[in-house]
Structure 1
Amino acid sequence: MSDTDNNLPENDEPHGSADKESLKKISAFILKQMQKGKTRAEITQQFVDQGIEETTASGMVDEYCDVFVRRSISEQWTAFSLIPSIIGGLIAAIVGGLAWGLIVKHTEYELGLAAVGVGWLCAWSILFFNNGKKGVPVQMIAGLTSIAGILIGKYCFYFFQVQKIIETQHGAIMSTMVSPFSIEVMKGFIPYLIDMTAQPGVAYDVLWILFAVGSTWRITRSLNLPQADDAVSSETRAGSAESIRRSLMFTAIGAAVIYLLFSQLSKQAEIPLKSSLNEIQQDNVQFVVENMKLAGNTYYYFNLIAPEHVTQMQDEMMRFIAEHTAQGDLLAEIENLKKDHEAFSLELAKVEIPDSFYADPSSDRELFEAFYIFFLKELKLYLYTNLYVTYFNRGYDVTFDNDTNTAIEQVYTAFFKLQAEHDNEN
């Protein structure tokens, strides 16, 4: 017998006179010996060698061994426990990954510890769905689903970055219409992950992933007792009638939950397309306006233009919609607005603008009104175009030729200055 096998806790006595810490040590020792394949007689003899009475040692060993064997048998994975394990792991991976992604979105901080939380959630979800079954197959499912959850979290980070880029380049409306399930978006995820491997903090990412997988592997690890394997019947391996019913029930519930999760996610970026202008309501126009107020390329118009003029523009659009039915009419109107905008822009570019106007646009009322009309025309063009893109043709190019020169850009700045002064006064 090796020295390690004789390494019993000193002065430990079973139950009655032993404190909780001693009992814990005895329990851990007996379990370790059972995992090594020691028989009850061999374990009892080790206690006897340490001076414990044989009858007491035998009773204590039998009691602990019975508990561990029953526990090991109840934890044995079965064929019917694997599908609920997969379902439970996938649900936890989706929920955990999305939660991690939302945390990053709102805090703008990628908390690596959350990866361990995703792994922990996957492990306990698996044990809940498969009624506490453990073992190597369950461990593998737990490890793979925890990695899947981490990848879902990483995909969320990537998708939010894509949305920001699209919002900066094309506005808030276009960014809200980007689906996380878009093939084009998904294609960029692998290169994104590859680029991440070149980042300085990749070692920490790998470390957190290892911690996450390690935690799931430990939580779903069985006692692995040879004594329990001998006691497990073929019926237990296949699964009892009760465990089969439970497995089928949780498989159905889990599949329904996963379906609902994916259906809700797929709908979050969907705005139903319209077939005709008759379907456009005031709320639809208001939705487009509110998104333009947030978009990086249109929000400033709402600082330059008086609210009553924006309202008037919306009313004009509703009258146009009431008088036309075909979406082609809206497209034709957009083309007319483009031509009008281009012609007005070219005429405005010919005007010599005095330096004093940049400092105070209100110093030249006529020129001020000319530029104000220009901004109105530009906003109207954006409004009609964004309405068409949002509800009729998302492949339509929302950008348009803008021949404004440096002088007009300076006027934008001057108008912003006046707006800021006006806000300060109020």
Structure 2
Amino acid sequence: MGADRAVKSRRGENPTAQSRRRQRAAAGAGKFEPMTSSAETAATRRPRVAVAHPRLGRGGSELVAMWALEALQGDHALTLVTTREVDWDALNAFSGTRVRGDAVAVVRPRWPGLVQGLGPGAAFRRAVNQRQARRVAADHDVVISAYNPVDFGRSAIQLIGDLSWDGPVAARYDAPPPGLRGRLLASRVAHGAYRWVVGRLRAPSGWDVLGRDRVVANSGWVAELMAREHGLRPEVLFPPVPGDFPEVPWERRAHRFVSVGRIAPEKRVERLIAIVAGVRRRGHDVALHLAGPVGRDAYGREIARLAQRSGPWVVLTGPVHGAEKAALLAGSRFGLHGREGEPFGIAVAELVRAGCVPFVPAVGGPAEIVDHAGLTWVDEADAVARIDRMLRAPAALAGARTHLAARAPLFGTAAFVTGVRALVAEALAGRFGAKMKSEGA
């Protein structure tokens, strides 16, 4: 009995419970306080960092999660919070990382089959992921959401990947998906019931995520949009753009356009086919290679039929990765991107790094990447006209290539790694600073 009293405080807490209570108190004050116990001190252990991502597939936010882990491994004890089984070999191959999976603790839901089975239920997965992340937050010195705002119930680093979490804003740029999912979203009853279930599952803690957390946007366009919509002016950290691209002389490149990414409604792939068809009608013998998985959903079937009707100049290459993707991009002269309101556009940054000349919508992150008025368009007719003019003006095309070559070094992995490490170091030091509210908010 005396021994029991010796290891407990007068409030009945053992040292570990005391540590976690202090952590929660520090979180409530908006500061990070590294945890200590009788067995370890801040001087003898690595800081504990949790990285949350709802589902690691093959996309831009997955690159953010993997490169965040890459940046922090070794110096930090890492936990990944997600909703599906993690294939480290496949993720490393896709991301160009060397994350040591055996050194990362993985937290997944107790019923992963149910969560993974609800493929279209992105909000459901995010809600499950948030609940998991909140449960482990108190056991970590720093918590990071690698994909959009997560309510950890304490101070966190929020890496914003897109605006899907803000329904009204997202609806301005993304049309409802086709098929059953689109019909369910259009149904007030079905969608209302789904939102009610998700809201209950999320169980907000009351923490002011956007007002008190360190919010980092992936582009200046997203930062400005958040300033207008939420009165918040986040800092900007471009996402990682991995890969090495061979240098191929312009005269040896194919006279074609290439688009890399998911064949999904929000990517507006049908628009790309229409634009290149218009360019061909103006006398340019160009092709379009669509490098991405074509699903068996309603949209995938629609694009497959459209490509077949268009003729052999539309090539569905399927998904490409690694050296195969690098060779495709470096062997092409032009790129094309169709999604208006794309938050950043890693595929566009890859095109720039590969030496292509991409044409992109004037609204969104890709326009920030190319930063060239002659390469941005407002609608399909404008795109056709601008491409036609550029292809008929060798001097203008050479100038655009020189401009893009100067911008290419802005996009890679080194700056992201440095930025993530700096964010974590500042969090550990408690230097979050004043909240970055825009004037007049």
**What TM-score bracket applies, with the shorter chain setting the length?**
under 0.3
Please identify the structure whose Cα radius of gyration is greater. 1
Kindly indicate which of the two structures has a greater share of residues assigned to strand.
2
Kindly indicate which of the two structures has a greater share of residues assigned to helix.
1
**TM-score, with normalisation over the residues of structure 2?**
0.27
